[in-house]
Chain A
Amino acid sequence: MTNFVPLLEMQDLLVRRGGSEVLRVPSFVLHENKTVALIGPNGSGKTSLLLALARLLDGARGLLYYRGAPVPDGRQVVDYRRKLAMVFQEPLLFDQTVEENVAAGLKLRGVSSAEVRQRVAACMERFKIAHLAKRSARKLSGGEGQRTSLARAFAAQPEVILLDEPFTSLDPLARRSLIEDFGSSLHASGGAAVVASHDREEVYRLADWVIALEAGRIIQSGRPDEIARQPVNPYVAAFFGV
């Protein structure tokens, strides 16, 4: 990782639920043009960490910095969120056409119609869904839906994209193809990403850095090849196939 001011930094993150501590992350750092993968079993805190980074987790305490400046609370948090995009495991599309879904984030930002048209067309092209532009989002297959969701995220030109196992529910062929398209789009956009994943291939293809979580604690972090060489526990070993 580089030594410049991080793009995103979280310190002393603490999440409590029902009186018990579910996530404690002393430090999390994301640098520009880098992708961090979060791995760990279900319930280890991956989704909570992503939501905390997007300032979408109620009851999360901790210091969040964007380009070295503290992320404000209240209404100004919207300005911060508009620098990010988030993609969930389910596409969570609106009951509109594919084109309208891809344009959603831009319209919320008040981008001009001409620019919306241009950016939406480019993103649909990049994610190979241009031929579905006028189709209702309800009629899409799982893969098409997730492509639309990713196109919607990229259309807003985010500086950071947060992904919560977005490829998990896809068949192997669709998954591989979408990971490739996502990887090249991320590279082309110059953005940074944090991706929660259960898939080794995905981590090797996308991640510069891996953070392994277990029961709400970071148990290991490092470059994928480093972690694969010296896994700290059976889960991490099994994840990397060693």
Chain B
Amino acid sequence: MELIVEGVRQALALLLALDRELLTITWLSLKVSCSATLISLALGLPSGTLLALSDFPGRRLIISMVNTGMGLPPVVVGLFVTIFLWRNGPIGFLEILYTPTAMVLAQAVIATPIVTGITIASIQNLPAKLKLQILALGATRLQMVWILVREARLPLLAAVMAGFGGVISEVGASMMVGGNIKGQTRVLTTATVMETGKGNFDVAIALSLVLLGLAFGVNYLLTVIQQRERPR
């Protein structure tokens, strides 16, 4: 218990002193996870909408794969992204392994099925006849899709939260494709693992507090937007 109290005390001291390394790590975490979330939204929203609204052979199989992907273990993603980016891997020529770009890529792979799966559920959860009503109002297919997405905006915000939550907290993939290089690819989760391993609990607790604060801050912002929109 004493260890925790002392750790929290020292962590607060580090935070209040605005430690330069801590700020660098925090900024990189935010940058990598926000970029990955944006990519996952760009891919997951349209593909989730398409899967929810269309009907073609193999659709159920794809949805099952997406749902399975929602629980992808980050270390598995890390392993395969590493293999792909390895010097003689399929996209090794990009030479981005052990860079923040590789971390964004791996995190996007983790978040995209989450965003896609929640998008499918959100769109399918709308009243079945709403699509017919929109078309009957004279909408083109594109207008119909836009209105459906607009109607599902509250649950879709949950997709953003889940996507961001999934990547800001993962450690396995970032460690494997980023390498936890000081000043280059060290993020809050990988740094926490490293400091815990070294027995520097005060630093590890400080990093975890920042991580928690970051996750809470972003989700609080999205929750405020979501609840403001909520029908009362």
Contacts and interface: CB of A to CB of B under 8 A. Distances in A.
A138 B129 CA distance: 17
B231 interface: yes
A152 B133 CA distance: 11
Given A95-B151, A136-B231, A139-B231, A108 B137 contact: yes
A51 B138 contact: no
A104 interface: yes
A200 B147 CA distance: 36
Contacts, number: 56
A51 B132 contact: yes
Contacts of A156: 137-138
B231 A152 contact: no
A88 interface: yes
Interface string B122-146: 0000010110110111111001000
Interface range, A side = 20 to 34
A139 B129 CA distance: 20
Contacts of A51: 132
A94 B132 contact: no
Given A88-B129, A92-B127, A94-B151, A108 B136 contact: no
Secondary structure class of chain A's binding surface, majority of residues = mixed
B84 to A, nearest CB: 41
Contact of A95 (B139, B140, B231): B231
A90 interface: yes
Interface stretch (A31-39, A78-86, A179-187): A78-86
A56 B138 contact: no
Nearest to A54: B136
B137 A152 contact: yes
B127 A90 contact: yes
Interface in B131-174: 132-133, 135-140, 143, 147, 150-151, 153
Nearest to B132: A56
B136 A56 contact: yes
Contacts of B147: 94
A155 to B, nearest CB: 10
A191 interface: no
A78 B138 contact: yes
B140 to A, nearest CB: 5
A222 B137 CA distance: 30
Most A C-beta atoms less than 10 A away, residue of B130, B133, B140 = B133
A86 B137 CA distance: 7
Q: 8 tightest CB-CB pairs across the interface, nearest first?
A: A138-B231, A86-B136, A82-B138, A92-B133, A105-B137, A108-B139, A108-B138, A81-B138
Interface of A: 51, 54, 56, 75, 78, 81-82, 84-86, 88, 90, 92, 94-95, 104-105, 108-109, 136, 138-139, 152, 156, 162
5 contacts: A81-B138, A104-B137, A108-B140, A138-B231, A138-B232
Interface of B: 127, 129-130, 132-133, 135-140, 143, 147, 150-151, 153, 231-232
Given A54-B135, A88-B133, A108-B138, 20 more contacts: A51-B132, A56-B132, A56-B136, A78-B138, A81-B136, A85-B136, A86-B132, A86-B133, A86-B136, A90-B129, A92-B130, A92-B133, A94-B147, A94-B150, A95-B153, A105-B138, A108-B140, A136-B232, A139-B232, A156-B137
